[in-house]
Chain A
Amino acid sequence: MRSPGTRTWCGPRLLRLAPLPVLCGCEGRHSWLAGAGAEARAIESLFWPFLIGSAIVWTAVMAFAVFAYRSAASDKGERVGRAVILWGGAVVPTIVVAMLLLTGLLTLRALSARSPALTVQVDGEQWWWRVAYRVPGQAEVVTANEIRLPRGETAELLLTSDDVIHSLWAPALGGKMDMVPGRTNRLTLTPLTIGSWGGLCAEYCGAAHAQMRFEVVVTEPEAFRDWLADEAMPAAPEALSEGGGLDAFLDAGCGACHTIRGTEADGPVGPDLTHVGGRGRIGAGLVPLTAANLSRWISHTDDVKPGVRMPAYPDLAPEALDRLVAFLMALK
């Protein structure tokens, strides 16, 4: 196994020449080849041999086709032709696909061999992600659309859904796994590179499927544990006491859907907002969390994300909206 580190992993050593990182999009937060996780790297180690091997096979077949077309007919032809079928059509492909099969099975076994140090429950909703950490001896932490994971530790994601089938996919870290109503699926991820990686829903899940994204934030283990302890706390007292933001929140009826722990808002429908100000993005990974974006999200939700379940509040008085936004931003 390659040592974990913060360097960007990209391509086989041989090919790691200048233009390649641009070409393969290694810097992409959603790329399979970003190599931010052990699982992604295991799959990447299949990708390059497959790519090169296919290129060779394809070129060989095409070259043979051109040769066959150009060559003159001869009496011996049919005997040669049968040999071509036997060796080129049957024997060689059988060996190649047998090797592919074994490689795939062994990689699959290796992928499921890690034992997890951390369990995270992720529940797919139309069209966002409910994330829950249940660490023994600590209050349950519920957040949304952002999965924090410690670097170098294997996490097991328990994937569920109550509405339709979703599929959780953070390509930079590893493969995807579906969330099927009535079942609990498991996906292990072992992040290796610190950073914020993109994730999205890979299974068509209805109207707003395209805009169901999330973030995977990989931090050092200590930072992760600090964050988890902070998240377990109720909402920041200074936010609750300041400027009537909580009143604006409750007056607008937000508490019917959203929970802010430590207040009377305990709606179970939408994302938990207890520490929403600490998240990087809103709208299920859609736009960065800024006051302007948040304000637009609340007042014109459906413009930012067509199909979204949250109703828009276009008639909210400007000052109430400002208070609300400031309040939410302060919920670190």
Chain B
Amino acid sequence: MTGLPDIGPAPPDDAARDRAERDDLLAAWETPSGFRRLSAVNNSLIGRWYLGTAFGFFLFAGVLALMIRTQLAVPDNSFLSMELYNQVFTLHGTAMMFLFAIPIFEAVAILILPEMLGARDLPFPRLSAFGFWCFVIGGTFVCGSIFFGAAPNGGWFMYAPLSSDTDQTGIGTDIWLLGLSFIEVASIAAAIELIVGVLKCRPPGMRINLMPLYCWYVLVVAGMILFAFPPLIAGDLLLEMERAFDWAFFDADRGGDPLLWQHLFWIFGHPEVYIIFLPSIALIATMLPALARTRIVGHSWIVLSAIGVAFLSFGLWVHHMFTTGLPNISLGFFSAASEAVAIPTGIQIFCLLATVLVGRATASVPLLFAGGALAIFVFGGLTGVMVAVVPFDFQAHDSHFVVAHLHYTLIGGMLFPIFAAVYYWHPFVTGRMLSPRLGRWAFWLIFAGFNITFLPMHWTGVLGMPRRVWTYAEEMGWGALNMTSTIGAYILATGVAIMVFDVVRPRRFKAPAGVDPWKAPTLEWLREGPGHPWGIRSVPVITTRYPLWQQPGLFEEVTRGKWFLADASGGHREMIVTDILDARPMFVQRVPGPGWVTILSAAFLGAVFILATWHLWTAAVLCGGGFLATVLWWLWTGTGGVPPTPERDCGRGLILPLYASGNGSVGWWAMFITMIGDTTAFAGLVFAYAFFWTVHPAFPPPGSEPPGLPTAALAALSLSVAWLLMTVAQGANRAGRGSLSRWALAIVPLAAAAGVASLVLAAGAVGLDPTRHAYDATVWVLILWIGVHVAVGVIMDLYCLARLMAGRMDASHDAELRNSVLYWNFLLVQALVTIAVIGLFPLVSGGIR
């Protein structure tokens, strides 16, 4: 039935074996103590740190919110100065979005996803740790700036040309651009890891139709991150190039266009709203079966909605730009998508309601928060379809009506579900329950405070109060409503304070939770709790959607070590990797344990970004070298290599290989997914070119000559040769012709260098100057992009060469080489597209005109 080979009988109960296996597991998975604890990489610990840090930033941004509300409580207030207010509101939005709303998704997923999949960890534990440390460093950098009066002050949307004017928006904007780019890198790293986790690390037998809804959402949302963040990274690159080196992208006098930034920002910015919202709905969809004592009604409908929202949300971005003067018909398209996205959103909500209808829900704090989420989010959704109506938005846009709307969607759609999840999964993490009484107090204070704050704010907007104003005159008549909002904000803050108190008070005051306090159906409740860092005791075969309900005896079988990988002989951290569709076991992946290399590399990378903020280029380059060295060390010591034995007996007759390369391996998928994201960023740059072509009557403009075709063709040829050599090296290695493979790899850098040199020559020979015109700048940024990618490709090439020489790769163990070839496949496509855009397109577009 499961598509698995015959499964042997379960081993008999044997207390001595159980103890021995547990000792082995502990030896392999034990968290280091003392200061070495910081070097831990285990998902349960990293997840907790991640969660705590994200909540820390939430509280910080919440204090900023209170400062905003205090300043606006009365007209002509002088609590905050104009300069400080502008920094405070910018940082409030930035921190809530980038340092709380998105990381909290990653934190929760890192914490519960592996356990929900019956996996011991995520496939790349060190990558999670690396992402976490990037997040800590970047977030502290961005938030800390306000204590030096140097916080960004251009709004969290950073519209050019205000943000490209270094006189008006000082170092804060660079901190924003570089600090957040750094954090986005971490987010993308987490997204890659989560996608691979869902696709490849499910328990044997858990086919795609049996996968919990939470995993669907994680897959969808991580996929969205992969397509939404890169355009912003591309935008950040352009804006920082303009700020640091005066490249002309957004300066209208030099052929740039401020609207390009808005496009790139909102192609990120609107999907981002759903990146925040979907995981929270996912949390509710995961809790609800336990709370309502029934299966989810409309499982496939929820999957449909998640996928549908994920796509449609990429067609909404211009609804943040309804008043920028685009043609009516263009506005119409985006209005259409903005209305359409309400359909799958509504379906999700009704699936959850139908589940409550079918089930027997009893009152509990998580359910209370879920109900609050419903009340608030539905309201926010309704104002959402209003502002999606273009003429209505002409009034509502950038007024306090929109401030109210967005807080209804985000707090209802994200914060309340997260709070519900805190009450629900607190016993999962700590083994203790939070107080229901304090929970009810917290809920009602937060709920009442929220509505007192934001319901009147709709009216404040109707009365004409714009957003992002540090003060207003008494004669405007907005005083009473603002005072009400401010009072509400403090009530809300009181509720949050009660919740925080409940969470942080010592555990001895909290009631013990037992193993499965909610009688939940999902696998994470198979974990054995604090003190058992290995997660699941043994990895079972899953044949149902609600295993703890529908597979009787599972708990005992798993915790008594009667399933796969019950032991950890040899002290390795191991997990089973399965196939994407049917979760048939493919091989056993050994994952690395604690290490300082993750913190070190995060610190070096952080230093690169921080030093670049102050234009300390030499130091930045040195740290970049340090980053490269640590990453190579990390890869060399922690990944790949020929295993000592080819196979591993997982118990019950399941014998799996210990090595995989190519598209079965997790590394290949990680590379594939990374390159999808990377290519999206590249597409953002090509979009910039196409956008300029659309808005300019002539592009290339008069005075700029496009790069010469022969030189560009030479570049295409050289890079193709480099790619071909990589492919040849892979084939030769497979065929056992090691020396041919090594020679091919050794020549790659020459061909690659020739390719980049020809590209630079092509643009340089015709005198393109990036500070002169947007055309020149766009061509140069494309060449820069390809140049950097070729450099990375050459490093990979040399790494593979070194691995071959060192005997860490051979004919049948070639994962690194195959991953590098995959990288080069994408690189070749990007290079050829670049050459077509800068070399061929001007000929064609010139012809049409």
A25 touches B477 (CB 8 A): yes
Q: Which of A27-54 contact B (CB under 8 A)?
A: 28-33, 39-40, 42-43, 46-47, 50, 54
Q: Which of B43-59 contact A (CB under 8 A)?
A: none
Tell me, in angstroms, the Cα distance from A24 to B481 when the chains sit together: 12
Task: From the candidates B335, B358, B383, name the one contacting A81 in the complex (CB within 8 A).
Answer: B358
- The yes or no answer to B237 lying at the interface (CB within 8 A) is no
Residue-wise, chain A 130-146 has the 8 Å CB interface mask toward B (1 for contact) of 00000000000000000
- The yes or no answer to B549 lying at the interface (CB within 8 A) is no
Tell me, in angstroms, the Cα distance from A205 to B154 when the chains sit together: 8
- Which residues of chain B have a CB within 8 Å of any CB of chain A? 81-83, 86, 153-155, 159, 161-162, 165, 168-169, 252-253, 256-259, 293-294, 297-298, 301, 323-325, 328, 331-332, 335-336, 339-340, 342-343, 346-351, 353-361, 371, 374-375, 378-379, 382-383, 385-386, 388-395, 397-399, 459, 462-473, 476-477
B358 touches A80 (CB 8 A): yes
Tell me, in angstroms, the Cα distance from A112 to B329 when the chains sit together: 12
Tell me, in angstroms, the Cα distance from A109 to B657 when the chains sit together: 65
B82 touches A207 (CB 8 A): yes
B258 touches A182 (CB 8 A): yes
Q: Known contacts being A90-B347, A100-B388, is A85 close to B301, with CB within 8 Å?
A: yes
A204 touches B159 (CB 8 A): yes
Interface centre among A50, A61, A64 (most CB of B within 10 A): A61
The B interface, classified by DSSP as helix, strand, loop or mixed, is helix
User: What are 6 A-B residue pairs whose CB atoms fall within 8 Å in the complex?
Assistant: A25-B463, A43-B395, A82-B297, A175-B323, A176-B397, A211-B471
Question: Which 8 A-B pairs give the minimum distances between C-beta atoms?
Answer: A175-B394, A182-B252, A30-B464, A89-B350, A104-B389, A185-B325, A81-B354, A210-B469
What are the residues of chain B within 8 A of A178 when measuring CB–CB?
323-325
What are the residues of chain A within 8 A of B258 when measuring CB–CB?
165, 180-182
What are the residues of chain A within 8 A of B473 when measuring CB–CB?
286
When C-beta atoms are compared, the residue in chain A nearest to B347 turns out to be A89
Task: From the candidates A71, A77, A108, A176, name the one contacting B328 in the complex (CB within 8 A).
Answer: A108
Q: Contacts A25-B463, A57-B382 known; list 8 others, CB within 8 Å.
A: A31-B463, A62-B374, A72-B360, A73-B358, A81-B298, A81-B355, A81-B357, A93-B347
- The yes or no answer to A65 lying at the interface (CB within 8 A) is yes
Q: Which of A166-174, A219-227, A233-241, A259-267 contacts B (4 or more CB under 8 A)?
A: A166-174
B342 touches A97 (CB 8 A): yes
What are the residues of chain B within 8 A of A120 when measuring CB–CB?
none
What are the residues of chain B within 8 A of A61 when measuring CB–CB?
349, 353, 374, 378
A176 touches B378 (CB 8 A): no
When C-beta atoms are compared, the residue in chain A nearest to B324 turns out to be A178
B386 touches A94 (CB 8 A): no
B389 touches A103 (CB 8 A): yes
What are the residues of chain A within 8 A of B463 when measuring CB–CB?
25, 28, 30-32
- Which residues of chain A have a CB within 8 Å of any CB of chain B? 24-25, 28-33, 39-40, 42-43, 46-47, 50, 54, 57-58, 61-62, 64-65, 67-69, 71-73, 77-78, 80-82, 84-85, 88-90, 93-94, 96-98, 100-101, 103-105, 107-109, 111-112, 159, 163-165, 167, 169, 171-172, 174-178, 180-183, 185-186, 198, 200-211, 286, 306-307
Q: Known contacts being A58-B379, A61-B378, is A176 close to B297, with CB within 8 Å?
A: no
Q: Known contacts being A210-B82, A210-B472, is A204 close to B325, with CB within 8 Å?
A: no
Q: Shortest Cβ distance from B173 into chain A, in angstroms?
A: 12
Tell me, in angstroms, the Cα distance from A54 to B397 when the chains sit together: 19
B391 touches A163 (CB 8 A): no
B324 touches A180 (CB 8 A): yes
What are the residues of chain B within 8 A of A42 when measuring CB–CB?
391
Tell me, in angstroms, the Cα distance from A57 to B161 when the chains sit together: 42
B162 touches A90 (CB 8 A): no
Tell me, in angstroms, the Cα distance from A188 to B673 when the chains sit together: 48
Q: Known contacts being A64-B353, A108-B331, A174-B394, is A98 close to B82, with CB within 8 Å?
A: no
Task: From the candidates B259, B339, B394, B468, name the one contacting A101 in the complex (CB within 8 A).
Answer: B339
Q: Shortest Cβ distance from B575 into chain A, in angstroms?
A: 36
When C-beta atoms are compared, the residue in chain B nearest to A175 turns out to be B394
B385 touches A100 (CB 8 A): yes
A28 touches B468 (CB 8 A): no
A77 touches B165 (CB 8 A): no
What are the residues of chain A within 8 A of B82 when measuring CB–CB?
207-208, 210, 306-307
What are the residues of chain B within 8 A of A33 when measuring CB–CB?
462
Task: From the candidates B335, B379, B462, name the one contacting A25 in the complex (CB within 8 A).
Answer: B462
B298 touches A104 (CB 8 A): no
What are the residues of chain B within 8 A of A62 when measuring CB–CB?
374-375, 378
What are the residues of chain A within 8 A of B169 when measuring CB–CB?
206
A85 touches B350 (CB 8 A): yes
Tell me, in angstroms, the Cα distance from A54 to B389 when the chains sit together: 14
Task: From the candidates B168, B339, B375, B470, name the one contacting A98 in the complex (CB within 8 A).
Answer: B339
What are the residues of chain A within 8 A of B257 when measuring CB–CB?
182-183
B351 touches A65 (CB 8 A): no
Q: Shortest Cβ distance from A154 into chain B, in angstroms?
A: 16
When C-beta atoms are compared, the residue in chain B nearest to A91 turns out to be B343
Q: Shortest Cβ distance from A152 into chain B, in angstroms?
A: 21
Interface centre among A177, A181, A201 (most CB of B within 10 A): A181
Tell me, in angstroms, the Cα distance from A241 to B471 when the chains sit together: 40
Q: Shortest Cβ distance from A184 into chain B, in angstroms?
A: 8
Task: From the candidates A50, A105, A164, A208, name the one contacting B386 in the complex (CB within 8 A).
Answer: A50
A46 touches B392 (CB 8 A): yes
A104 touches B335 (CB 8 A): yes
